[in-house]
Structure 1
């Protein structure tokens, strides 16, 4: 392709023109990295520049070499660990059982500070526009806002519902799913003022959220086995796609124009964006039961999913009336898809 044609195609994409139909990407399980240990897990994060994968696990974060999955170290004492993010030379971990965020040095893995958050801090989101980390407090209706360069709290966003995963558009707006309201809230990354509230239509209990920044499309994955696509400027419903059960994560690969949901039932669903108004399920790939969250390395297009072998659920208690399935000791691992 000559340079003038390339420029025209690029300008069309930036303007939101329909993408050109091409081969639909497919994936395979390329590697299985054993980690071991006991306990459950939640989110996983990739730091491509640092060459590391961070996997939440029980009361610690497992740190693995991005190239081969070999253990690099652990970050201990992160009770109720959920989300991990590395930004501005610092790492942040949400600890749901202590209502705090642990700050660590990505080079040494040494914990450098602990910052109070709201009730049950869960997912984290870094916004490069404001250079802030947003800590979504699932046990409250707020997000604790940190200066990513210093770790200092700079505000609290009132969201009006229990937040799950969030995503930034890089231009000053942060979007977040409200699990109990079946809504997406869009708010200003600097003033923290809510700009929009949009229902996810037929979707119920939205968890993971991803964004196609070029074409302004949000992908909200929901507990009733639906991926809902919305216009990120107006909230207009664009499409609804079937996915697997037990979903908790979704990513969007800009280069491949696919949204991939991780379904705890043991599959990933690959949705191809053929154009801003046309979406199709390109692949349903078997992974492993329990692999409900994932992370994307945008530089290599590889996907990373934590899981472990599952056993029977423990007996219900008043404190935990609906316990999750137990995990088989020493089976915790990370699946690598490419």
Structure 2
């Protein structure tokens, strides 16, 4: 029995060491490029895990890619200025924040047909999410410094949440809390989805100008990426304290956390993505600076394949003027 115990201990130790070595040697490489039609600006990418589809915001429309084939299968168009996409699979509906139209646009997740354009009383809808705890869709409105509450069943706005500043990305823990970055205040609001009110506000210094936000549910950690100081800060959500800040590239917009690989993926507008290894809840290190493309600043992570998808266009040299017919999704895989 003692020999068996020692053997088992040794095997577990070897397995742990192997996983650690593999994690340290992991590397993202370019897999392919998916050309998409049309022109215009671009913002969020979102993955509907249930239907295995990638949604890419693009000017006045959303391009939809089947992740099994990685080919374009449809387009949702006719909007004024698209930002984010959220999913309520329980009622088979998706929701798009149409910032310039001051609306949340509902569509069928199977057919991709538009169901309704829901007028919002608040201006500047940007980030959007579905919160399963409250069964509500929320748009985060930069111009109005608030959030609109939409009922996915009645397709009507049911209220407004006053925020502490201009919101950027937001994440839900699915248990009654939503965390929302405030870009102009360099702080983070905590929303109670039972009362639909802000109950706490955490300063994020040294983070300046926070944009993207991701959640590690198990370790109760938030990852917020910040443009002004070019850093990713790790926040303990039980205390609101910043644990550490890791250098990243310039012009960051998005971040994603892969709970299986323990990797944090950060997309920067300077043409890089920073790949950070989570060694423990409080210890992090950069393991790769991936070369992508200028202004490939938003991404989505497929947690099934661990691939990351970044939208981008080509630009006239030295300008931010996109060249026609160059809109593309870059696909990177683990090697």
* Alpha-carbon shift at residue 135 of structure 1 (Å): 0.6
Establish whether residue 261 from structure 1 lines up as the match of residue 266 from structure 2.
yes
Bigger radius of gyration: 2
Establish whether residue 90 from structure 1 lines up as the match of residue 93 from structure 2.
yes
**Residue from 292, 317, 321 that aligns with 1:326:** 321
* Alpha-carbon shift at residue 202 of structure 1 (Å): 1.2
Q: Is the 8 A contact 1:131 1:147 kept in 2?
A: yes
Establish whether residue 164 from structure 1 lines up as the match of residue 159 from structure 2.
no
SS of corresponding position for 1:291: coil
CA deviation vs aligned residue, 1:278-327 (integer Å, no higher than 9, x gap): 111111101111110011111221111100101257xxxxxxxxxx7111
Extract structure 1 runs of 4+ deviating beyond 4 A.
none
Establish whether residue 104 from structure 1 lines up as the match of residue 107 from structure 2.
yes
CA RMSD of aligned residues (A): 1.8
* Alpha-carbon shift at residue 41 of structure 1 (Å): 0.5
* Alpha-carbon shift at residue 68 of structure 1 (Å): 2.6
* Alpha-carbon shift at residue 54 of structure 1 (Å): 0.9
Q: Is the 8 A contact 2:216 2:222 kept in 1?
A: yes
Find the counterpart in structure 2 of residue 145 from structure 1.
149
Find the counterpart in structure 1 of residue 15 from structure 2.
none
Relative contact order, higher structure (CA 8 A, sep 6+): 1
**Residue from 307, 313, 318 that aligns with 1:308:** 313
Find the counterpart in structure 2 of residue 289 from structure 1.
294
SS of corresponding position for 2:261: coil
Measure the CA separation in 2 of the matches of 1:169 and 1:300.
23
Q: Is the 8 A contact 2:82 2:97 kept in 1?
A: yes
Measure the CA separation in 2 of the matches of 1:172 and 1:310.
42
Establish whether residue 191 from structure 1 lines up as the match of residue 201 from structure 2.
no
TM-score, normalised to structure 1, is 0.88
Find the counterpart in structure 2 of residue 319 from structure 1.
none
Question: Any gaps of 5 or more consecutive residues in structure 2?
Answer: 13-18
TM-score, normalised to structure 2, is 0.89
Measure the CA separation in 2 of the matches of 1:70 and 1:58.
19
Question: Any gaps of 5 or more consecutive residues in structure 1?
Answer: 10-19, 314-323
Measure the CA separation in 2 of the matches of 1:261 and 1:147.
32
* Alpha-carbon shift at residue 148 of structure 1 (Å): 3.2
Find the counterpart in structure 1 of residue 285 from structure 2.
280
- The count of corresponding residues between Structure 1 and Structure 2 is 312
Find the counterpart in structure 1 of residue 16 from structure 2.
none
Find the counterpart in structure 1 of residue 123 from structure 2.
119
